[in-house]
Chains A and B, each alone.
Chain A
């Protein structure tokens, strides 16, 4: 099975994931850091929706380890949470693809929430209770980022990005 269309080639997937890692690596601070969306997760779920055969749990886990390193937290925290997010996205995939980005985002909000609650739970069990509920702020920014990314890509490519 081969894909000859340019959208969703390996270069694009790797390129967008690299961009997500680099964006996370920027020197965020203060309130910008508090609401910083989880770029890696959003990009990962985007490809999980549009190129499901190329995004595996192994990928999600390795990217999660990278995110754990970037934030200096315990290894495996994001790895497991991204796995949960990927599972949910795969489960909802056929349903989500029928909707426009705005409605997709509305349905992905619980998925982002589940991922963040996974991070919260793992950190809580492994380290200590969280200092505040600010941990739930990125759920909103992830959803907004999804609208931004999925919306602009749909404007660029139409619905062709998804699997025909």
Chain B
């Protein structure tokens, strides 16, 4: 191949050889990254360098959303305000009864000598960047280990569970969404208390509920909450709503589809629970080896 600027008979590797060398380097990179997690240093270095760039380049999107918000109609705003006022009234009355229940609960727990539930600490974080990854579903948040975030912490928005913190950098962090393939969330059906595992399907609007025996009482419309038995998520966070239940002939298990309640599509800010999840202490024989 004649490339201008180069001697035609120079002793130089041809393009095919160079391509093969770089492919070899690439394969080494991939295996170092996937097998040995040896590239995390490069990743956090790039994250630190590109952090200000990402902060700045987030503004066009935010500006766009704000202009959109500014142009919403007056009527729509009034309706929204009315809805919020109604909701606030309802929440106030619920808060009063919740306060009473909480004090009653503390008293009962003291009587039964159970540990008192600690209130969870939260960190507010906003969407920083969403990458195009065809093999996983994740978003990048603008808070990191400096704000107290650690891998494994649950991430929620106003509607429910968004996902779990994956990689953490100094000022940013990645969230694996509940709809990510391989992401398992222990859930229970709110109506019956039946426990199960919700697994991501790779599509943002679909969760699979796995390993529910065929005679389980579950129907479309049931809400799924985190069960709290995994020591990762605190119990009672809404995860999804059952949309379809089918009974396959060949399998002893039900096929249950659910719609995730939280979504990055309608929320740009999320809450990260940074306190340790409230879990019951392990039984004594499980702790001693």
Question: Chain A: residues with CB nearer than 8 A to chain B?
Answer: 1, 22, 25-30, 33-34, 36, 52-53, 56-58, 60-61, 64-66, 69-77, 79-80, 83-84, 86-87, 90-91, 93, 119-120, 122-124, 126-128, 130-132, 134-135, 138, 163
Q: Answer whether residue B4 sits at the interface, using C-beta atoms and an 8 A cutoff.
A: yes
Q: 9 closest A-B pairs (Cβ-Cβ)?
A: A131-B202, A76-B29, A27-B61, A80-B26, A71-B131, A53-B5, A76-B30, A76-B26, A135-B134
B229 to chain A, nearest CB (A): 26
Assess whether A36 is in contact with B132, with CB atoms less than 8 Å apart. Answer: yes
- Structural contact, A1 and B4, CB atoms closer than 8 A: yes
Cβ of B66 < 8 Å from any Cβ of A?
A: no
Please determine whether A52 and B61 come into contact, CB atoms closer than 8 angstroms.
no
Q: List 26 A-B contacts (CB under 8 A).
A: A28-B130, A29-B130, A53-B6, A57-B18, A57-B21, A57-B22, A66-B46, A69-B47, A70-B131, A71-B132, A71-B133, A72-B131, A72-B140, A72-B174, A74-B33, A75-B30, A75-B43, A76-B25, A86-B19, A90-B1, A90-B3, A126-B33, A127-B135, A128-B182, A130-B134, A131-B134
Bound-state CA distance A72–B130 (Å) is 9
Contact A163–B4 (Cβ < 8 Å)? yes
Q: How far is the CB of B57 from chain A (nearest CB, A)?
A: 5
Total contacting residues, chain B, CB less than 8 A: 56
B265 at the interface (CB under 8 A from A): yes
Whether B181 lies near A128 (C-beta < 8 A) is: yes
A151 to B204 alpha-carbon distance, docked (Å): 37
Q: Does B211 contact A (CB under 8 A)?
A: no
Given A1-B5, A74-B34, A76-B33, A90 contacting B15 (CB threshold 8 A): yes
B135 touches A69 (CB 8 A): no
Sample of 12 more A-B contacts, CB < 8 Å, known A22-B57, A79-B29: A1-B4, A27-B60, A57-B19, A61-B26, A83-B22, A83-B23, A119-B134, A126-B30, A127-B34, A128-B181, A131-B135, A131-B201
Chain A interface, >50% SS class? helix
B58 at the interface (CB under 8 A from A): yes
B89 on the A face (CB < 8 A): no
What A residues does B129 contact at CB under 8 A? 25, 27, 70
Give CA–CA (A18, B30) in the complex, Å. 25
Asked if B19 and A84 make an inter-chain contact with CB atoms under 8 angstroms apart, the answer reads yes
Query: Are A75 and B42 neighbours in the complex by a CB distance under 8 Å?
Result: yes
Using known A-B contacts A26-B61, A58-B22, A80-B26, determine if residue A87 contacts B15 with beta carbons closer than 8 Å.
yes
Structural contact, B203 and A52, CB atoms closer than 8 A: no
- Contact, CB under 8 Å: A61 / B43: no
How many Å lie between the Cα of A94 and that of B43 in the bound state? 38
Contact A134 B22 (CB under 8 A): no
Which chain B positions have C-beta within 8 A of A60? 22
Q: How long is the Cα–Cα vector from A30 to B29 in the complex, in angstroms?
A: 30
Contact A22–B53 (Cβ < 8 Å): yes
Q: How far is the CA of A56 from the CA of B3 in the complex (A)?
A: 12
A80 and B135 contact, CB distance less than 8 A = no
State whether A33 touches B42 (Cβ < 8 A): no
Q: Which of A26, A53, A56, A75 has a CB less than 8 Å from the CB of B4?
A: A53
Q: Contacts A26-B60, A52-B3, A134-B134: A79 and B22 contacting too (C-beta < 8 A)?
A: yes
B34 and A126 form a contact (CB under 8 A): yes
Q: Which of B25, B42, B203 contacts A132 (CB 8 A)?
A: B203
**Is B158 close to A, CB under 8 A?**
no
Q: Is B50 in the interface zone, CB < 8 Å from A? A: yes
Q: Write the B55-77 contact mask toward A (1 if CB under 8 angstroms, else 0).
A: 00110111000000000000000
**CA distance in complex: A119, B89 (Å):** 53
